[in-house]
Amino acid sequence: MTVFAFLLLAIALIGTLSSTIFLAISLIGVRKFYAGAAQQKREADALADSQLPPVSILKPLHGMEPQLERNLESFFQQDYPSFEILFALDTDDDSALPVVRALCGKYLQIPSRIMITGEPPWPNPPAYAFSRMAAEARYDLLITSDSDVEVQRDYLRAVAPPLLETNTGMLTCVYRGLNTGTLWSLLDAIGMSVEMTAGVMAANLLEGMKFGLGPTIAVRRDALEAIGGYSVLGDYFSNDFVIGNMIAERGYTIVLSRHVIAHVVPPMTFRKMWQRQLRWATGTRHSRPKGHFGTVFTYAVPYGLLGLLACALLQRPEWGFLLLAWALLNRITEALAIGWGVTHDRECLRRPWLYVLRDLLGFCVWVASYLSRNMRWREGRFELVKGGRILVRDRRGGQVRMRSSN
């Protein structure tokens, strides 16, 4: 029993040390983020409106979502001289169609188009929608954006200028979770604001951006064409990671924008929240297997609890409480410094202790991500295979296989 307790204690100490190092790296990454944001703002403020590039915004839609009208309207309300918005829906009976039609009619001064693209023939439906919209887009700066995000009026003024540099092929934005429902959706939202953002801060510091974040990915058309267009993403689940990875491999720079997006999280039961988290984690495991495995060393609370158990077995509970207290302080610090300091999530300022629960949940999701590769997405069931590609088992009663061309 003593040997077992010492083994548990060793694991707890290693995890406590690694999570502390990760927190330190993330905090240094925050400094880099703010330095880059300040430089981006200075450069953007120096540009006249006539120097700003025209922009095509590509938005795929799929059904109703919380505050959908408000989300979409925030894009029509941009303070920017020249842009268009393209919308793509699978079918003409989609419940989002009346909402977007009304907004297009309300903002007649903003060029906009609605496309009905039909049932996606590719395993990844958004990638197919992006490809169809890009073919119709007028401009060479393309911004793909999810329907469940809300942006500020200066969004385009923040996102577009860095792409004037010819060596900059892509730009992406961090985001905070905006909870619209239950405790479970709140934990999901805090994960976006803190866990996801801390990882981005660390990655940007250590190796620079080599991936994208789905809520906003802005690309130059020449960089997109260099990788073969949106078509190359059609078989992948984590298309945001893949497009950034491919563009970086072509020698282009990827910029992390100063603009922080609000990602709307719908009301969810525990089951729906768990399935959503597991889907993302399993996608990451297949897309970035080494990085995903290393994530286990970034959690803190599980190691604090493990240390408490080990020290109790060794009859030194005071050491265990010290380890647990350190883990809790670690997570609360991260919630305040990242969740409030970077993404400005008010929940992280009001209730930073919630991230303690989220950290424990995140560890459980990480473990579960190694137990299955079959998931549900939209109305279908699919399987992830090597490299993060999607093998669709069933979509609305039909079969869709991975395209052999990619």
Helix (H) or strand (E) holding 89: strand 83-89
Q: How far apart are CA 57 and CA 44, in angstroms?
A: 19
* Predicted pLDDT of residue 378: 58
What is the rounded CA–CA span in Å between residue 90 and residue 77?
25
**pLDDT score recorded for residue 99:** 97
Helix (H) or strand (E) holding 61: none
User: Shortest CA distance to 76 belongs to which of 53, 99, 44, 43?
Assistant: 99
Q: Which option is the CATH number for 54-287: 3.40.30.10, 3.40.50.11610, 3.90.550.10, 3.40.50.720?
A: 3.90.550.10
Enumerate the H helices of 252-345 as residue ranges.
Answer: 270-287, 289-294, 301-313, 317-334
State the Cα–Cα distance between residues 227 and 251, nearest whole angstrom: 11
| Residues 22 and 298 sit within 8 Å (Cβ to Cβ) | yes
Per-residue tens of pLDDT for the chain, all 406 residues: 688 888 999 999 999 999 999 999 999 999 999 999 999 999 999 999 999 999 999 999 999 999 999 999 999 999 999 999 999 999 999 999 999 999 999 999 999 999 999 988 888 889 999 999 999 999 999 999 999 999 999 999 999 999 999 999 999 999 999 999 889 999 999 999 999 999 999 999 999 999 999 899 999 999 999 999 999 998 888 889 999 999 999 999 999 999 999 999 999 999 999 988 998 888 888 888 888 999 999 999 999 999 999 999 999 999 999 999 999 999 999 999 999 999 999 999 999 999 999 999 999 999 999 987 666 655 566 777 766 777 665 555 444 444 543 3
Quote the tokens at residue 348: 């992280």
Pairing of strands 55-60, 141-145: parallel
Q: Is 403 in contact with 235 (CB distance < 8 Å)?
A: yes
Greatest distance between any 2 Cα atoms in the chain: 74
- Nearest CA-CA partner of 146 in 66, 198, 71, 211: 71
| Per-domain residue ranges of the chain | 54-287
Instruction: Work out the number of other CB atoms within 10 angstroms of the CB of residue 91.
Output: 11
For residue 85, what are the β-bridge partners?
Answer: 57, 112
